[in-house]
Structure 1
Amino acid sequence: MKSILIKIFLIAAIIQSCHQPLPPELENRPPGIPENVFPPADSLNIPVELTFRWQCSDPNEDDSLIYDFYLEANNPTPALFKDSLATDTLFVDSLEYDSTEYFWKVVAFDRSGRSTSSPVWSFSTIYENNNPPFIPSFPQPANNADQVGIKNISLNWLGGDPDSFSKVKYDVFFGGDSQALQLTAENISGTSHALPILLYGTQFYWQVKSYDDYGSQSESPVWNFKTVTADILFDDNFDSYTYNTNPPSLVWTVSESGIDIYVSNETSWNDVGNSMCFTDPTEAANGYLATQFEAHETGMIQFYWKVMNEDDYMGFRLYSDSPDSLHLGPQVSIREGKIQYYDIDRLWQDVSSVNTDQWYFIQLIFDCNDQFFAIYVDGELKTEHGTWLGTSVPDLDQIYFLTFENRICQKAYIDEFRYMSVVTP
């Protein structure tokens, strides 16, 4: 009896062991999802002869994979094109031209027959006889145009493509150097591009490049125009003044409260002549250098500017003397190693970073009608649409260069100050 029980126990143990799951490393799992390598999903302009590529892996290290490849034109549920492929590539040379849309997928099988399908991908083929876009032409402003206004200027051209099936996009290049044009608009569908407010009396260059969906492109010549020449209404390089003194009171007003503002021969932007120096070594001090000029709704100031220490604070403000206004125009400062302006929301906005002991050429163009200004630093547009607090200011006619209470300015300089506008006869 005892031997019978032992036999029954052994048989039960054997049966139970047959139902134990395999350890994970021995369990067969299906292949991973095949991933697209080429051609990319939803791509255009694909050649009619190409090698399809995909990648797939299997969680079982010793397992091998084969693939069924599905491909068909104009059918989102493509038919089987090739089965039992041992590699993850397939060369096909039987596709049709002219933007035919193809759908394809891959199904991976392991040695035990378990399978995983990829998503269905699509692409379109190249046109057999695609023509490049028309060369952009008929520029506005016209090539070599002179006395072009500085605001509300748009670049316009005639574009298009001889093929009705092609869609054209444009890149616009613009700048003050014909050999170093900057990309200013990219991949636009229209044939017009609005410019920011521009500098007076400056030669500008521009070019348009056009592209169709199928890789063909054309480009215009480099065109140019020159903006209107402004009248110089105030100009001072400080070179005629005695150094280590204040400038003449008939030209500049100086206010010094614990600071020193003087004509300096220590440095100038071109190492010739004088500049104006500001030293404000304590937080309790402040002061300004101010002048007044002819009032205008639109105008430009320009000067050279530098600070000598990272913690130097210095700024300038434009004002209006007109009644019934908030008086205050654009405010710009060097603070914390940056040029910044104070906007209509009473927030400081970055213009450009600055290094110590380096001259920067500042040009600020203001427009009181539209209540904005632009700032160029060393000829490069840095602020396109700055705002200021005095929204009711009808014109501007004063500038103050100043240091600030509760801030220090160990040493800063300005040089070659100029104000200009167009005087209507």
Structure 2
Amino acid sequence: MTYDIYFGRSPYNLKKRASQRTNRYDPGELEYDTTYYWKVVARDGKGGETEGPIWSFRTERKPNRAPNKPKSPDPYDGKTNVSIYTTLEWECEDPDGDELEYDIYIGKSVWDMKLVKRGHTTTRYDPGVLEYDTTYYWKIVAKDGRGGKTEGPIWSFRTEKKSNRAPEEPKALNPYDGAKDVSVYTVLSWICDDPDGDELEYDIYIGKSRWDMKLVKRGRTTTTYDPGELEYDTTYYWKVVAKDGRGGKTEGPVWRFTTEKKPNRAPNEPWAPNPYDGAKDVSIYPTLNWKCEDPDGDELEYDIYMGKSKWSMKLVESGVKSSIFFGNVYFLPEKLEYDTTYYWKVVARDGRGGETEGPIWSFKTEEMKKIKRSKLVILVDTSHGNAKFAGGTLLKSYKGYKKTFDWMEKELNCEVIYGSIKNLNSSKYDLLLIADPQSGYITSERNKIREFVKSGGNLMLIAKFRSYLKINQILYSLVKYDIFLGLDRNVVRIIVPKNNAHNFSSKVIGYQVGKGKLVVVSDFDIFSNLRNTELLGKIISWLRE
């Protein structure tokens, strides 16, 4: 017998697979879980043939095999300096060709790995931003969906050290760049961030020039700084250098601001009047003195009001300035009336709108005194001074001087004697007149002058001083040669005319320095003009009183 075997997956498409004499056939390895159809045709070799029925059978289900172990990790096991933005990758296969899913575990310890993703379908996973300079452990569990599961080994890697980024550029908050009228007590402030979140420190530089800023504070940990009291009306430049403590440093731009103008404060109230308030028996040639200060140090000017009633005071002088030599002083141009009460006040002005009115003071002048002598004996020194006056020759012949002295003898009942100080008799003369001293030079016979003044005699100098400096030279000479310095009650008066180049305005300047009396008559173009102004008459009257 011979058998033809037909085999296939469809009863309608059976194919002859073999022709054999045995009744046993091996179709080879079949596919799992598949239905097969087959039949046998028997032939006897003599033409006899019989076809059997079509049979079928279904193969067994395929037995599942677990996935292979995950391998080829990226980052590789033990890798260092891994980016904090890394992606985890691996390889894994299933021996049955099943599609796989993965459970992913990550942690900072092999004993504390946590499931971060279940049922992941690819071999690539993004864990997000990791921490710098940290060791991570991870593993993959592969599953084939048919109960097959394989846990991979534990791998590790270490992330990169944090790469430092410099702080951002500081930005000024207060004062803003270019600000004006800023308080002198302002506090500087700014903002600054660090991209890595580092704590920042700041170096602060300040100066009055962008090229001369000085470090005023190092390592400031806050974003404010108090520079203390600044100067008024001044432009300041400043900058901030931010440091993150890990080598990162950013220098901010140079900012500037201008402080407010100094607010003006009015002068203090005038005080310490002389004559003192309520004074009596005051000379009819008084010199008014007072004290006054300005809290801002401004130079002051004064308006002087005076009258016989506190309700009828009038402005007698405006813009009076303090003198370096004499201080705050006002010299009355005319004598006052005897036995009269006067009221006066001072208004101080600082030239910047500040004004302070002082209190009203008063004083009462002396009663009129009788002239004790009817005649003055005046010695005109001819022993020194300009050489042309030697011996008094030119002095006598000079019309201007001669007319004056003649007038003095006639109108003032004086006796004028021309002679030398060398023969000075202290008791004989009432007034010693030195004419035309040279630039403040005092005669070498100053001991004679000193004795004359000490004994109560009066000294008068007549000079053409063309500047205030010359007057100072004269006074300096007198002090230098001790003619009156250190004595008990000197009254020094300097008389100047209205046409003086330095605007002394015929004021009498007086102060106490010793016992005798000194008079300086200055800067007359023609000496004979003295009698026209009556100044000399006032001087002589004063001396006689």
Give the TM-score, by structure 2 length.
0.28
Give the TM-score, by structure 1 length.
0.33
Which structure has more RCO (C-alpha within 8 Å, separation ≥ 6)?
1
Q: Whose Rg is larger? A: 2
Bigger strand fraction: 1
